[in-house]
A and B are shown apart, each in its own frame.
Chain A
Amino acid sequence: EDKVVQSPLSLVVHEGDTVTLNCSYEVTNFRSLLWYKQEKKAPTFLFMLTSSGIEKKSGRLSSILDKKELFSILNITATQTGDSAVYLCAVPNNAGNMLTFGGGTRLMVKP
């Protein structure tokens, strides 16, 4: 059975801090790993990773994948209160017809 585990469950930091969120996965046939941000509404897409060691970057957010150790990290530098959200990672299942989501990491950034 496919499995996605995120850590930590929750995190409280102050503005300006750098945070690292973790996502480990077990899937029979790896295709990709996706990161989403969810504020008080629907999840929105951040990154899709398919290759090990290649960093994806968008502003202060970046993510990298390690297919050998079966994990991905999401880094946020110089955090702002607007980064407060639940961050979700997901992988397509073996059949490639649905996503398996992790439980999410709840990030709170204090002023």
Chain B
Amino acid sequence: DAGITQSPRHKVTETGTPVTLRCHQTENHRYMYWYRQDPGHGLRLIHYSYGVKDTDKGEVSDGYSVSRSKTEDFLLTLESATSSQTSVYFCAITRDPQETQYFGPGTRLLVL
């Protein structure tokens, strides 16, 4: 299995508070991705990174920001959490974006 961890694994927070999710990899892969998964929507890309300090928006980036200061870490921040951001968040990595991505275990976020 690819060495990907996510933290925290579960989080409950209140509307309006900032939240940061962390994805950490030990594979030295260049590409890292943040997805959210909601019933009826499948996996939707939030942001991705193609290198240190190189990031770009995905399909559902509003309300989220990311940072990648080291190859191994990709952070997702909800600046001011809303109930619509209640979801399961997956991080994924790949050496080549045209090939398979390897997924982390997911973070379950509940915004009250």
- A-to-B contact residues, CB < 8 Å: 31-32, 34, 41-45, 48, 88, 90, 92, 96-99, 101-104
What residues of B have a CB within 8 angstroms of the CB of A44 in the complex? 103
Whose C-beta in chain B lies nearest to the C-beta of A4? B42
Question: Given A42-B90, A96-B98, does the pair A103, B58 have CB atoms closer than 8 Å?
Answer: no
Question: Given A31-B98, A103-B42, does the pair A98, B58 have CB atoms closer than 8 Å?
Answer: yes
**Distance (whole angstroms) from the CB of B58 to the closest CB of chain A:** 7
With contacts A41-B106, A102-B42 known, what are 13 further pairs, Cβ within 8 A? A32-B98, A42-B103, A42-B106, A43-B103, A45-B100, A88-B42, A92-B97, A98-B45, A98-B58, A98-B97, A99-B97, A101-B43, A104-B42
What residues of A have a CB within 8 angstroms of the CB of B45 in the complex? 98-99
Can you report 18 residue pairs joining A to B where beta carbons are below 8 Å apart? A31-B98, A32-B99, A42-B90, A43-B43, A43-B90, A44-B103, A45-B100, A48-B99, A92-B97, A97-B31, A97-B97, A98-B33, A98-B45, A101-B43, A101-B44, A102-B42, A103-B41, A103-B42
B97 adjacent to A96 (CB under 8 Å)? yes
Main secondary structure of the interface of A (DSSP, over half): loop
What residues of B have a CB within 8 angstroms of the CB of A97 in the complex? 31, 48, 50, 56, 97
Task: Give the size category of B's interface with A.
Answer: 20 to 34
**Which of A41, A43, A97, A104 has the most chain B CB within a 10 Å cutoff?**
A43
A44 vs B50: C-alpha distance when bound (angstroms): 22
What residues of A have a CB within 8 angstroms of the CB of B90 in the complex? 42-43
From 69 to 101 in chain B, residues with beta carbon under 8 angstroms from any chain A beta carbon are 90, 97-101
B43 adjacent to A42 (CB under 8 Å)? no
Question: Given A41-B106, A42-B105, does the pair A34, B41 have CB atoms closer than 8 Å?
Answer: no
What residues of B have a CB within 8 angstroms of the CB of A32 in the complex? 98-99
What residues of A have a CB within 8 angstroms of the CB of B106 in the complex? 41-42
